[in-house]
Chain A
Amino acid sequence: MNSSVATEVVRALKLAVFRRDASGRLRLHPPVPDWLTALWPAAAAAGESAHGVSPFLDNFLIDAAVYWESGSGPGVGSGPWLETDGRGGEHHLQGRALTSGRHALLLVEELGPAFDERRGILQKAHEVALDYERLQRAEQALAEEKRLLEQRVQDRTAELSRANLDLKSEVATRQRYAEQLRALSLRLVEVQEAERQFLARELHDEIGQLLTGLKLSLEIFLRSAPATGAPSCLEVLEVLDELMQRVRQLSLDLRPHLLDDFGLVPALEWHFKRFFKQTGIRVHFRHAARQTPVSPQLTTAIFRVVQEALTNVARHARVPEATVRLWTAGDWLGAQIEDHGRGFDPEAALAAHASSGLFGMKERAELLGGQFTLDSAPGSGTRLTVEVPVAGTLSVPAALHTQEDSP
């Protein structure tokens, strides 16, 4: 190799080259790099041996000596180390023991910027590693968060399904209550009706009979009474007549006995006559010629609905007449009350809940599994239709016996 070229290369690489002489000393070979002058000024000036300038290097030289002695292999490296010069400058160095031909050489290189760069890379790597750790920790935290969230969702779901179960049982309970209420309402209507029936009969048969007996006795007494007592006795008779009339009306108001004795059609006809007398409203009654016998319960319900609806006609419709229709179709009994009066908004009236009439009719029909339809509009009259199934126990109304009875 051209010696000057080699020198230039050594200079450019900022290498310090030591050659080992026969006595084992390591002597500095020019050119001397600047870093060495700064670091070990004494060694640089005197071309002194590499021994004794740096404890790290000394340590390495022990290994290097072993290598040189054996004289084989590609050489050994020291690995990088750090020295600080007298002015506080830092020098990253790396040594390598070589053999070149017969010469044993020690090269010491200043790693300089290249090393810094590597360190930078290492630093980066380290930071990346740190970041990775952070990332991992974050991920873990996230996973934990997710797990907690899932737990919460699970808890909430359990809560919800518990609530759902509660709700379901609540609904069932309410349904049961509704059914009980329905049964109770039905029972209430029945009890009320039975009570009315009892009172009507009691008034009519018992009290009425007593008054009749009283009247008869008075009449007989009058025949043989002294003339002086007669006028006041006649007065008493008048009062008695009045009383009997009142009792009869009261009984009929409670429940018309025709309903129990003859059924719906005669009872309705009777009612229409009475209604006409009381209100001046004529009722046109249209009904199919034949009526299938229905239970007293249904008979009563239909009678009450017609009664209530006609009361409404008298109170609200402002008409001189109304039509009532009664029919059976299949297993259904229907009644309809129609007037061509003022009319009204049925939805508003039913929603208002302020009145009991319409609502009572609707409830009565629905309790019996029937339908209640209200067709009305302001200015165009009212048509109220009630239809109830005749199903279930069909008992013939307690009508009076007829001639068909067997002897």
Chain B
Amino acid sequence: MITIVLAEDHHIVRQGLRLLLEAEPGFRLVGEAADGLEAVRLVETLHPNVLVLDLMIPRLHGLDVTRQVRRQCPETHVVILSMHADEPYVMEALRNGATGYVLKDATGADLVHAVKDAMAGRRYLSPALAERALSSYVERPGESELDVYETLTNRERLVLQLAAEGHSSPEIAKQLFISTRTVETHRANFMRKLSLHSQTELVRFAIRKGILSP
């Protein structure tokens, strides 16, 4: 027999879930909560095997509920119910100690699976999530670090080039047909972006970048 506490604020959803869980042989619903605080209190008094928990529940966020339950009643496993299929939500839930993560628009059979797996201490994700996690792993191209030089605008690159070559701001202004103040603004911008603080550092950077030959 698996004892279950159900925490879900939406009346209609809770009703559906109750019917679903009660209909499953071997499941026994021992308590229902409509908010996070109540959920934590019920788990502490009832020590169920599984807490089926809505992620977006009022008065204490689902993640906080999960954390507290895992700390205070480690024998109770948490199965998260969520509308969100996105990776960060799943990751956060798992990091905070959830054993299962079920999408609300999945079928009822999914939840039953998750509860059973949780009882056995196995991690369960809705099939859609498992696929997604895999595909996102495949899709993700080899992300490389940001090259700050590339964030410079055309004008900033031009001013940088001339400044590195040793031209003064008024000289640059004359060459580019802009005001000295504008040159100074561009200069301040790229110095800030590149974390450079002096002409020496600028020249060193330009040489390293191949903008200036040593």
A residues lining the B interface (CB < 8 Å): 204-205, 208-217, 219-220, 223, 241, 244-245, 248, 257-258, 261-262, 266, 270, 273, 276, 282, 284-289, 325-327, 329-330, 332, 334, 336, 338, 373, 375, 383, 385, 387, 400-403, 405, 407
Contacts and interface: CB of A to CB of B under 8 A. Distances in A.
A216 B144 CA distance: 44
Contact of B63 (A220, A284, A401): A401
A400 B61 contact: yes
B141 A334 contact: no
B145 A286 contact: yes
A270 B86 contact: yes
Given A219-B108, A325-B151, A373-B155, A403 B83 contact: no
Interface stretch (B15-23, B40-48, B161-169, B199-207): B15-23
B13 A216 contact: yes
Interface residues of B, number: 47
Contact of B89 (A217, A248, A261, A373): A261
B154 A327 contact: no
Contact of B146 (A241, A327, A383, A401): A327
B105 A288 contact: no
A407 B67 CA distance: 9
9 contacts: A205-B56, A213-B10, A223-B23, A261-B88, A284-B141, A284-B143, A285-B143, A289-B145, A327-B193
B12 A209 contact: yes
B195 interface: yes
A257 B108 contact: no
Contacts of B84: 257
A273 B151 contact: no
A215 B105 contact: yes
A248 B146 CA distance: 33
Contacts of A248: 83, 105
Contact of B153 (A284, A288, A289, A375): A375
B147 A286 contact: yes
For the complex of A and B, list the 6 residue pairs with the smallest distance between their C-beta atoms, beginning with the closest: A216-B16, A213-B12, A286-B146, A209-B10, A373-B153, A375-B154
Contacts of A338: 150
Contacts of A400: 61, 63, 89, 92
A279 to B, nearest CB: 14
Given A257-B84, A327-B146, 17 more contacts: A204-B83, A210-B12, A212-B12, A213-B12, A213-B13, A217-B16, A220-B23, A220-B108, A241-B105, A248-B83, A258-B89, A284-B143, A327-B148, A334-B193, A338-B150, A373-B153, A385-B151
B95 interface: yes
A205 B56 CA distance: 9
A209 B83 CA distance: 8
Which of B10, B15, B71, B95 has most A Cβ within 10 Å? B10
Nearest to B64: A401
Contacts of A220: 16, 19-20, 23, 108
Contacts of A216: 13, 16-17, 19-20, 108
A208 B89 contact: no
B107 interface: yes
A213 B13 CA distance: 4
B8 to A, nearest CB: 9
Given A216-B17, A266-B88, A287 B146 contact: yes
A212 B13 contact: yes
A223 B107 CA distance: 13
Contacts of B11: 213
Interface in B31-88: 56, 61, 63-64, 67, 71, 83-84, 86-88
Nearest to A276: B139
A407 B11 CA distance: 30
Contact of B192 (A208, A270, A273, A332): A332
A245 B86 CA distance: 14
A246 to B, nearest CB: 11
A383 B108 contact: no
A350 to B, nearest CB: 15
A212 B104 contact: yes
B83 A205 contact: yes
A313 B87 CA distance: 26
B180 interface: no
Nearest to B89: A261
B3 interface: no
Nearest to B109: A219
Contacts of A326: 146
A355 B67 CA distance: 50
B193 A212 contact: no
B175 interface: no
B12 A214 contact: yes
B198 interface: no
B19 to A, nearest CB: 5
Nearest to A251: B83
A403 B95 contact: yes
A154 B197 CA distance: 58
Contacts of B150: 286, 325, 336, 338
Contacts of B63: 400-401
A327 B189 CA distance: 13
A216 to B, nearest CB: 3
A302 to B, nearest CB: 13
Interface in B169-204: 189, 192-193, 195
A141 to B, nearest CB: 55
A211 B105 CA distance: 9
Contacts of A325: 146, 150-151
